[in-house]
Amino acid sequence: MPFATSRVVAALVLREMTSTYGRRPGGYIWSIVEPIAGIALMTWIFMTVGFRSPALGTNFAIFYATGLLPFYVFVNVSQKVAQSLSYSRQLLAYPRVTVLDALVARYVLNLMTQLLVAYLVLAGLRLLMDTGTQLVPQHVVLGFAMAAALAAGVGTLNCFLMSMFPLWSTAWSVLTRPLLFISGVMFLVDSLAPEWRSYLAWNPLVHIIGEVRSGFYHGYEPSYVSPAYVFGVALVTGLAGLLFLWRFHRDILEA
């Protein structure tokens, strides 16, 4: 049975690779161009308005990259996982294809894509520029692991909510629109007043970005970062999503 499941997941992964990236001009290249364009735009805007240096270090590009790339891992992967049932609805009519297969396939492919993009962009910036950063791999790996776990948990819960209540897709889009501005992508949470810092600390993305940045800037140790909190949120949302999907997946697919 495990072997049969792995074959199903592999087939679903290949199907999505073909349908998502194989039919567009450039394919995977656009996945790399998007974050590079975002980083370049932020760098240009802040340098144009007169900022001489970013909130941390001396290089604008690497500062924004260390915030934007883990942010993209969460947003893009969780969004793809949330759409798993609608994307594979026809295949779920086959007994061998389960809801879990659809979730795992979308998660694995899109997570690997986003991690590869993050690696290429960050490595490229450090190779081509004098970023003034000193890599601490364990913090970088932990930060992206936190982003991956949160994407799986929130994506799974949203998969149920969006499939069961179509209006939730619109509501979630509206609710998460400010995330780019309140997650510490463009600023340091440490620089805020303690009361604002305590409010933002409820946002798991703040912890993720802080942890990733601590892996690039030697001596930067954000005190607010709590991996246990992020993994806890991921675990609770993921288990809740799986439980609801197990209970209601037939109702969703027959609707």
In which band, very low, low, confident or very high, does the pLDDT at 152 lie, cut at 50, 70 and 90? Answer: very high
Q: Judge whether 230 and 144 are in contact, CB under 8 Å.
A: no
In which band, very low, low, confident or very high, does the pLDDT at 49 lie, cut at 50, 70 and 90? Answer: low
Domain count for the chain, please give it. Answer: 1
Range of the domain at 125: 2-254
Instruction: Tell me what pLDDT residue 26 has.
Output: 61
Comparing 6-10, 68-72, 205-209, 223-227, the range with the smallest average pLDDT is 6-10
Q: How many CB atoms lie within 10 A of CB 44?
A: 11
% of the chain at pLDDT higher than 90 = 61
Amino acid in the structure at residue 186? M
CA distance 243 to 71: 27
Instruction: Tell me what pLDDT residue 75 has.
Output: 96
**pLDDT tens by residue, 1-48:** 454 578 888 888 888 887 776 665 566 777 778 888 888 888 788 777
Contacts by 38-47, CB closer than 8 A, 24 or more apart = 38/64, 38/68, 39/64, 39/65, 39/68, 39/121, 42/68, 42/186, 46/186
CA distance 160 to 166: 10
Over residues 175-189, mean pLDDT: 92
In which band, very low, low, confident or very high, does the pLDDT at 173 lie, cut at 50, 70 and 90? Answer: very high
CA distance 119 to 39: 14
Q: How many CB atoms lie within 10 A of CB 171?
A: 12
Q: How is the chain classified by DSSP, letter by letter?
A: -HHHHHHHHHHHHHHHIIIIISSSTTTTHHHHHHHHHHHHHHHHHHHHTT-SS-SSSS-HHHHHHHHHHHHHHHHHHHHHHHTHHHHSTTGGGSTT--HHHHHHHHHHHHHHHHHHHHHHHHHHHHHHS-------HHHHHHHHHHHHHHHHHHHHHHHHHHHH-THHHHHHHHHTTTHHHHSSSSS-GGGS-HHHHHHHTTSHHHHHHHHHHHTTSTT---TT--HHHHHHHHHHHHHHHHHHHHHHHHHHHH-
Instruction: Tell me what pLDDT residue 83 has.
Output: 93
Over residues 48-77, mean pLDDT: 88
Instruction: Tell me what pLDDT residue 1 has.
Output: 43
Rounded to two decimals, the pTM is: 0.92
